[in-house]
Structure 1
Amino acid sequence: MQIDIVCVGKIKERYLADAIGEYAKRLSRYCRLSVLEVADEKTPDHASEGVERQIRAKEGERIAKHLKSDAFVVALAIDGKMLSSEELAANLAQWGLRGVSHIQFVIGGSIGLDDAVLRRADMKLSFSKMTFPHQLMRVILLEQVYRAYKINAHEPYHK
């Protein structure tokens, strides 16, 4: 299985980069992983909804260049479906059984994802009704994907 994390912005914090590297290393036993970063747009303080929409559109165009037509695209969105770790594991297993060999998880920038990216997504996934920094969301997502593989392999990790 090929898993891509398509995300906006670069990781600047060393502790987050270290965590991402650790989960990428752990996941290498189970899948091929790529993290594809696109440039983020600077959002001015107190930006209007129109300016924010333009910023999401620019970032969305950059994201769209990485989305493959044959991939199953999962957009992380606050209004998406919430799953337990076991349900995410079951979904990953089901997608594989249905012949999906490429999954692309999409993480937007600080003001979210463009509507065009959300429409392209095969699934919208929410981790919480809370808002998380998009850089931290990479770590959380990778940990949950790793946990899902461990659950599906019946290996100790998930409690």
Structure 2
Amino acid sequence: MRVHIVAVGRLRAGPERDLIDDYTTRFDRTGRSLGLGPLTIHEVEDKKGGGMSAEAALLSRAVPEGAVIVAMDERGKVQTSPQFAEQLAGWRDQGRDDVAFVIGGADGIDPALRGRADASLSFGKMVWPHMLARAMLTEQLYRAASILAGSPYHRV
């Protein structure tokens, strides 16, 4: 199952980019034998300043046809890392070809797009900067693959 992060904004070179690239490489390496990956990041930018609805249109176009859509949202479900790993494996085992994690812009995800999501996931009640949310998500994807592979990376 291919994994996509679809996000508003361009990530520049720097520590966040390095961290995301590292966890993406780790996920791809660990997930390959598990039927997970590759992990692709799709960045969209609303250059005309159309707000959340314009961002939603750009995000929607970047989501692969038929993908499981997961809205990254502060109102979403809070899961443990093992629960997240089980959810990812469940979609894979259902024969889903793609899962797309959607990260909105500064104002979040347009309600219409959020309503189309198959799932909504939160990193807690706090709001995180979008670039850190990407880094946290790539780490959790790698952690999920490690859990599914039986690796000692995740310790209880």
TM-score of the aligned structures, taking structure 1 as reference length: 0.89
Note the C-alpha offset of 1:133: 0.2
Could you tell me which residue of structure 2 aligns to residue 152 of structure 1? Answer: 148
Provide the C-alpha distance between the structure 1 equivalents of 2:55 and 2:100, rounded to a whole number of angstroms: 16
Note the C-alpha offset of 1:70: 1.2
Note the C-alpha offset of 1:132: 0.3
Provide the C-alpha distance between the structure 2 equivalents of 1:139 and 1:23, rounded to a whole number of angstroms: 8
Q: After alignment, is 134-143 or 61-70 more displaced?
A: 61-70
Provide the C-alpha distance between the structure 2 equivalents of 1:76 and 1:158, rounded to a whole number of angstroms: 22
Note the C-alpha offset of 1:33: 1.2
Provide the C-alpha distance between the structure 2 equivalents of 1:34 and 1:68, rounded to a whole number of angstroms: 11
Summarize the alignment of residues 1-159 of structure 1 with structure 2, pairs less than 5 Å apart. Answer: 1-12=1-12, 14-29=14-29, 30=31, 31-40=37-46, 55-159=51-155
List alignment gaps of at least 5 residues for structure 2. Answer: 32-36
Note the C-alpha offset of 1:99: 1.0
Specify the SS of the correspondent of 2:76. Answer: strand
Could you tell me which residue of structure 1 aligns to residue 34 of structure 2? Answer: none
Provide the C-alpha distance between the structure 2 equivalents of 1:76 and 1:111, rounded to a whole number of angstroms: 12
Report if the CA contact (8 A) 2:46-2:58 is conserved. no
Q: After alignment, is 97-106 or 139-148 more displaced?
A: 97-106
Could you tell me which residue of structure 2 aligns to residue 50 of structure 1? Answer: none
Provide the C-alpha distance between the structure 1 equivalents of 2:77 and 2:134, rounded to a whole number of angstroms: 18
* Identity across the alignment (%): 39
Q: Tell me which amino acid in the other structure corresponds to 1:36.
A: H
List alignment gaps of at least 5 residues for structure 1. Answer: 44-53
Which is greater in Rg? 1
Q: Tell me which amino acid in the other structure corresponds to 2:101.
A: F
Provide the C-alpha distance between the structure 2 equivalents of 1:13 and 1:40, rounded to a whole number of angstroms: 20
Q: What value does the CA root-mean-square deviation take over the aligned residues?
A: 1.5
The count of corresponding residues between Structure 1 and Structure 2 is 149
